[in-house]
Every structure is written in C-alpha cells, then in structure tokens.
Amino acid sequence: MNPAFLPPLELVRRPLWRTLGIALLPLALAACDSGSSTGGNALVDPPVVTPPASEEPAPPPRNTAYLDRKAGDVIKVRIEELHPTQAAIGYDQVYYKLGRWQGDLDRPTWAHDPQQQLDYLNRTIGKKFDDYCEDMGGTERAQKFLSLAEVQAARLDQPTTYLCKDPLGSQTENLKTVVVGWDGNLYLTDGHHTFSTLREIPDGGPKLPVWVKVSANYSDLHDAPAFWDRMSEEKQVWLRDGHNQPITVEQLPTRLGLANDQEAGGMQEDRYRSLVYFTRDIAYKNGNLPEYAEFLWGDWLRRQAAAGQLPGLDAYLMAPPATPEQILAASTLNKALQTGGSDTSYAAAVRDASLKMSALQDTDLVFEDRDAAALGRITLEADAASGSVTKTARDTLEELPRNDVKSDGSPRGAGKLWFAVNYRHCGKPASGTCWGW
C-alpha cells in the first residue's frame, strides 16, 4: 500500500528506524568524516537560515499628535512644528515687522516727555503684542502699556507679562491655517511671513507657542506623492523659488524664518513678493483672497516686466548700495492720478506696479484661472472724493516712506517702507545707530 494513504495508526506502528533512517544517514556520515581531536564525537551546528528580505520597506513613523484633527479644529503648537509649503517670502515684509516691533527703549527723541516716549513705545513694541493677540485669536491687547516698566517687562514668551482681550485661539477668523499631512505633520498654508517674523524676534523663536486652525486632514493619504498631488490639486502649495522658477517638493525649506549661514533650511527671498506686499490697499485688498495670492500677483508683474510693459526691479533704487534717503524718496499720485515725486525710489516701484495692477479689468486673468477680481484688485478713479477707496490708496502710497516724527516733534506711526528699509540697512532700532537718533 502507498504510505501516503496509510491511516495514522499504521504510520505510527512502522519501525522507527525505517521512518528516520534516511534522515539520520547524513549525520552519521558527518560524524565518521570528522577530523576532530575529540575522537569524532563533535556536534555539527545546524545551518543558519536567513529569512527572505521583506519586499515592502516599513513605512516611516508618523507624527501621531495631530492625526485625528479635523477641519476647523484650533490647536496650540510650536513654530518649529510648522512645515512651509512655499520656498520664499518677501524679506522686506519681515523687515518691516522686525523694525517696528522692537523699537528703542533708550531713544532720546522723547526722553524729556515720558508720555510721548510711552506713546512711541506703544506704537512700536506695543504693536508686536497687538499683532500677536490678533493673529493668535485673542482679538487685541486688553490695554496699552501704562508705564515704561510694563514695556520693559513684556515678552511674547512670557504670557503673564501682557494680556490679550480674549483667550488665545478663541476668535478663529484671524488664525493662520494648516493641513495635516500624510505623515501626521502640520503643513502651513497661510502665515509664512507672520510665523517667520515671530521666529526671528528675540522673545519669539522656534519654540514660541502659536495657535493655528486646521483647514484639512490628508493623513488618509499614506505616501508623500499622493499627499503632494492632493496639495497641488487644491492649490495649497507654491512650488516656485525666490526667482519664480519651478521647484520640486523636495526643494521646499525645512523650516520657517529667514535663510542664514548659522542655521540651515531657511526660506529664500522673493523681491516681487515684497513689492506686492507694499501695493496692499493701493492696488489690491487683502480680505478673503485665495492662498498664495501675492505670489500670483508677483508672477504677473514679472511677466509684465519681461514683456517690457513695466520696468524691472533693477530699474529702481530699492536696496544698498543705494542710500536710505534714495530708497525712501517719496512717490505720489495726485487727485487726477498723475505721478509725482521720485521715479527711481522703492515707493516709485510700488506706485508703478500698483497702476499696472489697477488698470486690469476684473475679468482679466492674472494667473491661470484666477482673475483680477478674485485677487482683490482695487479700481483707482481720478477725482475721487475723500473717504473713497482711491483716496485711501493715494494716502497709503504717500505714507509708505514716511518717518515716525510729526512736524510738531511728537511721535506718529511711520510708513512700512521706512521701517523695512532702515531695518535692512541698520538692524534693530537702537540709539547711536544709523536710524537717525
């Protein structure tokens, strides 16, 4: 009978030597052939069996802290946890805030008048806390600083030294937005300039707590290509470098903040992105714009310059070796929208770009399917009345290079360009520096 079909009992009853004989033969031969000094009684180690390598590599570990967050959730994080979705920022926008937010505690200009000195410090250092409260969902500061001692003690990284009107994170309309990525990490889609500035300020830094709002959770996409494809489809990533050249997602910065020689991974400078920031409230309104709207305007302005329809930025005096006085020379638009003042200053570049942007029709395409109306275009009208959008735009342009001292010697809010240009040229406002005091 074929042994394969024997019932189990018959197999058990077969002589053991018949069942094991063939298996024992190699061991016996090995023992006989041994040249061991122990008389041929050495044991032979069984062969080592290496399991076959896995065909699929283990997936990378995921950040589990935010995997269950859903759209609309408000979360408190550290700046270092936020991953950029664009390669560049407008450095002059950051320089404006760094210049304004720091102020000079020892400035002699109003040392003889403590009330004016406090007014100046509330307009500068106080503005840092105003902006932080607003951007973090706390509405605004509960009250201005009432003494020089309060200003000296206040620090962003010490929450007991200042007070916002509402609890941070409670007013969500101003919060910056993030997407939960395939790896569970947070990808910033709005706020690169705000958080980069907070990362650069001395009482901020990478570990400063900030509040953000989740706009989407894509952690169900279990690999990077699928995630970035989705981000591209949703227009939630800007894959251009500081010169508007295409990049891959692998070339995105690894951190927020300005690039420097001491720390790798920072963000590049995009000069046109800076320019567009200063055209805000002159050529476009900033409310309810699509993500990366300022980059879309910057791309359009670059194309206008390439086509000879607008001077390129190198036609203007916007940075050293030009002097601050040359860079900050005023440029204006009169009531009839005729140009005046300097034609070569930074303000002139803003004026000329604004006129070009405003001349579009609402339905004119600026970038792919985004038209001028969707990107907030402002219509400038000749002979516009006081209180009109056009009058506000003209005033905004005139104020950009304005300094912070009124004609009567009292403090006032200086122009954004004035802060940006002086910070790039001089660094932090301080007595004895080139800021002029």
Domain 72-269 classified CATH 3.40.50.720?
Answer: no
Phi, psi values for residue 69, rounded to 5°: -75, 140
Q: What is the pTM of this model?
A: 0.86
Q: How confident is the model at residue 54 (pLDDT cuts 50, 70, 90)?
A: low
For 92-119, the pLDDT digits (tens) are: 999 999 999 999 999 999 999 999 999 9
Q: State whether residue 332 is helix, strand or coil.
A: strand
Work out the burial of residue 351: count CB atoms within 10 Å of its CB; fewer than 13 is exposed, 13-18 middle, 19 or more buried: buried
Closest of 347, 354, 348 to residue 376, by C-alpha: 354
**Domain residue ranges of the chain, discontinuous segments joined by +:** 72-269, 271-400
Percentage of residues in the chain having pLDDT higher than 90: 84
Q: What is the pLDDT of residues 330-382, one digit of tens each?
A: 999 999 999 999 999 999 999 999 999 999 999 999 999 999 999 999 999 99
Q: Of 327, 329, 325, whose CA–CA distance to 317 is shortest?
A: 327
pLDDT the model gives residue 222 = 84
Quick one: average pLDDT of 297-311? Answer: 98
* Token pair 């940006």 in the structure block, residue: 420
Q: 15 pLDDT band (50/70/90 cuts)?
A: very low
Neighbour tally for 355: CB within 10 Å: 17
331 - beta bridge partners? 341
Mind listing the pLDDT tens digit for each residue in 167-193? 999 999 999 999 999 999 999 999 999
- Residue 47: pLDDT band with limits 50, 70, 90: low
Q: What is the per-residue pLDDT for 431?
A: 82
Enter the tokens of residue 417.
């360009």
Q: What burial class does residue 177 get, using C-beta atoms within 10 Å of its C-beta: 0-12 exposed, 13-18 middle, 19+ buried?
A: middle
Does the structure show a pLDDT above 80 at 60? no
Q: Which one-letter DSSP state was computed for residue 190?
A: S
